[in-house]
Structure 1
């Protein structure tokens, strides 16, 4: 683990990335800026680290104050892994690709009932429940490729013959509205226990639960398209903050920005739509400097704007982008998004996982290969006259 010395009042930074991992210089600069924010005590950076709007994505920050901008606009965004009770080999992917286009339409499953069952109050953004969103968000049907830790796989009930669904989505416009309201108050940080902090945390916690419900609804719609039942395996937010006491009894805020919680069971760590995804088990004796957090994916290597110059999206090229190296299907009717989210935009997921293993943070339980990745059935520009900016900042 690399540790930056405490310089000019900055908190220590623990970087869990080897010299073989590529970390953009701007991400390192942002790390140093975050380490100098009021009240920050420690920062943990993962190998998927890359620059973000308000700070680097792929890190956890422990602080005496709450910094809403470090959580970001997509509060509660995370990964949900679900098992379907249908063999992967029996899936008709071409038919499923057509049926899953319903994910681009308003959900007709009963928003009020779903909110009531989840004990969530109504908001102005509930019509977006059951929708994936743009940018790096996705819903992916997967097959279990290899089991590497049979004991952990057995405890999780994994079945190598069944199909799985991995959903990456968040709180949509709800989270953005919460951050916007917090920043309009003119305070860059909030004192823990203050009225402003308590109000933010109440809204934040609602959005985290809303986002989890959203992933569940997306998975259920996918299961219905496959005519299969659903069993949750893991669901973890990677944009969130929670308050906890340290050994001295002080209440501190642990922020995660593009970092998965490592104290709640197995963690899905996807790569790009053209690579395997990993399911890892956090190790009980993982280093304290990691702040009970892990990488949440491969992390971007190139920003979205530059991908338009790196990937051609002429009609003759689109067919190649709509298939993955495993023979699976990619559904994305927006050519611009297809380029922005191409596999080449992301870091090497094998290297990210190797770093987590070599630093003693995890062991790999299983790998999953992509069968069908759904992002969008049509261009948002064509549908609404403008590009979808619901992603704001994140990965994949």
Structure 2
């Protein structure tokens, strides 16, 4: 896409008008600083955003966050809202890793009191939390138990003894989507998930021990129980093989079904069906079950991290600050042209950021992460959404060619970051150089008025598959 096709409409907000392409139903908008434009224009992400703007029943505009980059169908960082009656549901707008998300745990400890034990803690967390491609857990669940988890999410894990009821108060949607139906999840997907609860996986998934480096909003930080110098633990993972298989199964279904509904799309990766169709309802129920699995997964990992903390540090409890989803579709009420309407909001590599809600934005290894709070502007401008991370600016393949994992590990440990990783290639894929500047990404959404900064976190220990 050429720079001349884009116009700036406000601070950090740009628009590709409907006139750009005859099949667009709404404009396409994206958040970015001027310095980010060249990189964003260098891949297909904006053309993908334009493709999203052609989908039936889309409302307002197709939207992307400053961490936008090329994805499957929708760009990663994409947000789109659809009318429930005229609109569609698309797996490409949610992603293969359903409810990939982030949870932040807070301790009562400061860095000064535990600094010498951080390497031991990193080793123990790495031992307690299985990670890596295809790795399962020593804790396995029967198909009957798995069905209960797919319906019941994180609350079911608490009932099984892996957490406290207080945890659920601080999870988006309480850690469960009630519309989930485990019967809409294939046996193959269930078999892939049976031994993967409580596991991290690979790629950009991680557990990270961090200290709070700065507080920007004392009042908001106080509400979240955060203070400068505090040790917190962030974990990032999703629905593992189960979620991937749900996406695979229903992409196949929708590619066959679209013709019957008279739907054509500019990219087959945008396959979709009417939300109220039988296929749409079944996918929504299965996707919700996958989301519940991911919340249950992060709940069980929280239990494992608590075991590691108790073993190394003692009895100081770990409290859930918040748990937020990245890849999900939800029915929400938003104001459109002065009217309150129920919409199906797809967020892919974007997080919900309702006014006053905690928003957790992970950076890359060796850089910062941020805790934000949704600002009132998000409800007016972005369907209550914000960015989800730094966003890739380099493919995993390119990162592996440019970065040596062993050297990166030495560099991280030289600046005081204890590293536990099962693969040096996997470590190289997630090198800081592969990602955009997290400070600039966060600064863009803050300047746009859709979120405000609360705290900056810096890593002291990293655990990866």
Q: Which consecutive unaligned segments of at least 5 residues does structure 2 have?
A: 1-12, 158-181, 184-189, 258-270, 311-315
Q: Deviations over 1:38-82 (max 9, x none)?
A: 333321111110111222101201222111121111001111111
Cα gap change, 1:251 to 1:191, in 2 (>3 Å): farther
Tell me the TM-score normalised to structure 1 length.
0.87
* Structure 2 residue 17 is matched with structure 1 residue 5: yes
User: Structure 1 runs of 4+ off > 4 angstroms?
Assistant: 108-114, 245-251
Q: Find the partner of 1:231 among 281, 306, 319.
A: 319
The question of whether the paired residues in 2 share the 8 Å contact of 1:321 and 1:342 is answered with no
- The 3-state SS of whatever aligns with 2:401 is helix
Which residue number corresponds to residue 281 of structure 1?
373
| Equivalent residue runs for 1:229-378 within 5 Å | 229-245=317-333, 247=336, 251-263=342-354, 265-286=357-378, 288-313=380-405, 317=407, 319-323=409-413, 325=415, 327-376=416-465
Cα gap change, 1:43 to 1:289, in 2 (>3 Å): farther
Which residue number corresponds to residue 51 of structure 1?
70
Which residue number corresponds to residue 28 of structure 1?
46
Task: Give, in whole Å, the separation in 1 of the partners of 2:423 and 2:122.
Answer: 15
* Structure 2 residue 305 is matched with structure 1 residue 222: yes
Task: Give, in whole Å, the separation in 1 of the partners of 2:30 and 2:425.
Answer: 33
Task: Give, in whole Å, the separation in 1 of the partners of 2:460 and 2:90.
Answer: 39
Task: Give, in whole Å, the separation in 1 of the partners of 2:23 and 2:126.
Answer: 52
Task: Give, in whole Å, the separation in 2 of the partners of 1:180 and 1:273.
Answer: 30
The question of whether the paired residues in 2 share the 8 Å contact of 1:234 and 1:265 is answered with no
CA RMSD for the aligned pairs?
2.3
The question of whether the paired residues in 2 share the 8 Å contact of 1:273 and 1:373 is answered with yes
Greater fraction helix: 2
Task: Give, in whole Å, the separation in 2 of the partners of 1:251 and 1:162.
Answer: 40
- The 3-state SS of whatever aligns with 1:25 is coil
- The 3-state SS of whatever aligns with 2:44 is helix
Q: Find the partner of 1:18 among 33, 36, 58.
A: 33
The question of whether the paired residues in 1 share the 8 Å contact of 2:366 and 2:412 is answered with no
**Which protein has the larger Cα radius of gyration, Structure 1 or Structure 2?**
2
Task: Give, in whole Å, the separation in 1 of the partners of 2:276 and 2:28.
Answer: 26
| Equivalent residue runs for 1:188-227 within 5 Å | 188-227=271-310
Q: Which consecutive unaligned segments of at least 5 residues does structure 1 have?
A: 377-396
- The 3-state SS of whatever aligns with 2:390 is coil
Which residue number corresponds to residue 393 of structure 1?
none
Residue correspondences, number: 373
Tell me the TM-score normalised to structure 2 length.
0.75
Q: In the TM superposition, what is the alpha-carbon distance from 1:110 to its structure 2 partner?
A: 6.7
Q: In the TM superposition, what is the alpha-carbon distance from 1:296 to its structure 2 partner?
A: 0.3
Cα gap change, 1:321 to 1:333, in 2 (>3 Å): farther
